[in-house]
Structure 1
């Protein structure tokens, strides 16, 4: 097995538990290896730090999978990791038949994503070193989870950085990729083949429940509504009227189907449009809502784009606040890892200042429990959800 030696002083982050070794941290690699192979990582004093897969073409050159020198990366290894991940979800996930089963590095299986939707699984292998183990992973998932079917959603651009092709398709026998899941008493149509990410945003499940008690009898605006998940919860919790906005017509078709599926067709309406433009138009028209929900896609996927993201978040939150009466509620989210929690709070406060409003923080929420955050790996903490009362 090849041996990667780190430069002096570059071991601290790895010792603290971070699973990534960057190209610039490696002093030398002793022994032959091929991209995707398992290698050992040592510090400059020849102390074992971990074992993981290597891809010299990636800036993240090694991703550590185990810190036990006697633990081999074989089928039994994947079985132990997958069983542990599934056991954890069975302990923390409630009232749904859909959840994230494996959350990459946070489940000690770097770059592997597995989501469960009813009886079906969707799998993403986002790095070369995990992709080479796909056959083993599929086999173990069949044994442990016994799904009715598996769909591969490896159409994610990050695979290109690893030199991997973008591919999708059934693993084994084909099935209808449009699946109906149940979540907290609500039904949702999930398109495993064509939906965003793996078909559905599981990470907001618990945040959607924060609407309970806030929307009853009120008029609710759900911006960037996608397939209407927050809108369905608003209807369930007693809103008198719900309007969803999104720029994607196919997503809105699913949102309308979800409303009909749950008996909320008369209560929920959906409009195609740019949420930035629609918020400005509503403010100009003097429109008002009791609750405004802002759950946009990531405005930044790199540290270089944070300044632009700050402007975007400030704009939509300022406009959202202006649509609320005193005492109304704003639920605002960011799924951008590079938009840190403290910065997000600062941006929201600046938006309130410019809007001439005061904010009370009701709740500061994060991602659902099936997306655990590894403390040594801050990249696993990406979702922020603020529940605010606006005065």
Structure 2
């Protein structure tokens, strides 16, 4: 409060890792009380609601803001698929950047409802180019392949498949599967923005997984750029797992 002047502070010390450390989960207002309306933020000119009480993490994935800006820069004129779209952060930035269409998929109905509300908060965006689909992403990717759908830009930002190194092998299979499908759904010279937020999957292993996925999909691909959290997410040299968010911008031939 002294550093920021904030009038409301909500604690979200409720992650599963607290139980591993023998700490009880804690959440609630520690300064002020709930506002009458859902708070909004503006990110790169796009308004977004933030549910600090019930949303994932802080209610909004701030660590992806630079990558969402890159999505806006890349989306112009491209048919776009956003998997695990949550409340529509990448989707709305793609629309802001001039995407010709954006199909957004998530298994959470409440998250998609908020995504639609977020789109309505931005009347400057072309709502007719947005499609929201509540479905299991793995099953939906298979369905899109069977329907012979193709996209120019695909975003894969899944939840944490490997909370620790113990889950790395199982998580690697899941990451491989979704990336195989994504590579198969790309048009020639299409772009894939693929991410892992699992601390148990390091950057080199993730690059290897994506490489194997391209091979399995029969696509020739190259890495245009490595993606990560922004500069206000420093990584301690003594704790490499702190570099949890890693991503690749790939292009197929």
Task: Report TM bin, short chain.
Answer: over 0.9
Q: How does 1:159-238 map to 2 (within 5 A)?
A: 159-176=18-35, 178-238=38-98
Cα deviation 1:359-388 (Å, max 9, x = unaligned): 121110111112112233212211111111
- Residues 1:143 and 2:2 aligned together: yes
Q: How does 1:53-92 map to 2 (within 5 A)?
A: none
**Alignment counterpart, residue 154 of structure 1, candidates 4, 10, 13:** 13
CA contact (8 A) 2:162 2:171 kept: yes
- CA 1:251–1:374 in 2, change beyond 3 Å: closer, same or farther? same
Q: How far, CA to CA, are the matches of 2:25 and 2:242 in structure 1? A: 24
Q: How far, CA to CA, are the matches of 1:371 and 1:213 in structure 2? A: 22
- 1:290 CA drift (Å): 0.9
- 1:311 CA drift (Å): 0.7
Deviating more after overlay: 205-214 vs 290-299? 205-214
Q: How far, CA to CA, are the matches of 1:191 and 1:257 in structure 2? A: 12
CA contact (8 A) 1:246 1:272 kept: yes
Q: How far, CA to CA, are the matches of 2:169 and 2:245 in structure 1? A: 18
Q: How far, CA to CA, are the matches of 1:154 and 1:148 in structure 2? A: 19
Residue in 1 that maps onto 2:190: 328
**Alignment counterpart, residue 221 of structure 2, candidates 339, 359, 362:** 359
SS of alignment partner, residue 143 of structure 1: coil
- 1:251 CA drift (Å): 0.7
* Structure number, greater radius of gyration: 1
- CA 1:371–1:168 in 2, change beyond 3 Å: closer, same or farther? same
Q: How far, CA to CA, are the matches of 1:340 and 1:363 in structure 2? A: 17
Residue in 2 that maps onto 1:241: 101
CA contact (8 A) 1:224 1:275 kept: yes
TM-score when normalising by structure 2: 0.95
SS of alignment partner, residue 118 of structure 2: helix
* Total equivalences in the alignment: 250
Q: How does 1:1-391 map to 2 (within 5 A)?
A: 142-176=1-35, 178-263=38-123, 264=125, 265-391=127-253
Where structure 1 has 5 or more consecutive residues not aligned to the other structure, the ranges are: 1-141
CA contact (8 A) 2:225 2:248 kept: yes
CA contact (8 A) 2:193 2:250 kept: yes
- 1:146 CA drift (Å): 1.0
CA contact (8 A) 1:222 1:244 kept: yes
CA contact (8 A) 2:40 2:49 kept: yes
- 1:213 CA drift (Å): 4.0
- CA 1:161–1:354 in 2, change beyond 3 Å: closer, same or farther? closer
TM-score when normalising by structure 1: 0.62
Where structure 2 has 5 or more consecutive residues not aligned to the other structure, the ranges are: none
Q: Tell me the C-alpha RMSD between the 2 structures.
A: 1.3
SS of alignment partner, residue 151 of structure 2: coil
Higher relative contact order (CA 8 A, sep 6+): 2
Cα deviation 1:282-314 (Å, max 9, x = unaligned): 001101111111000111112121111111111
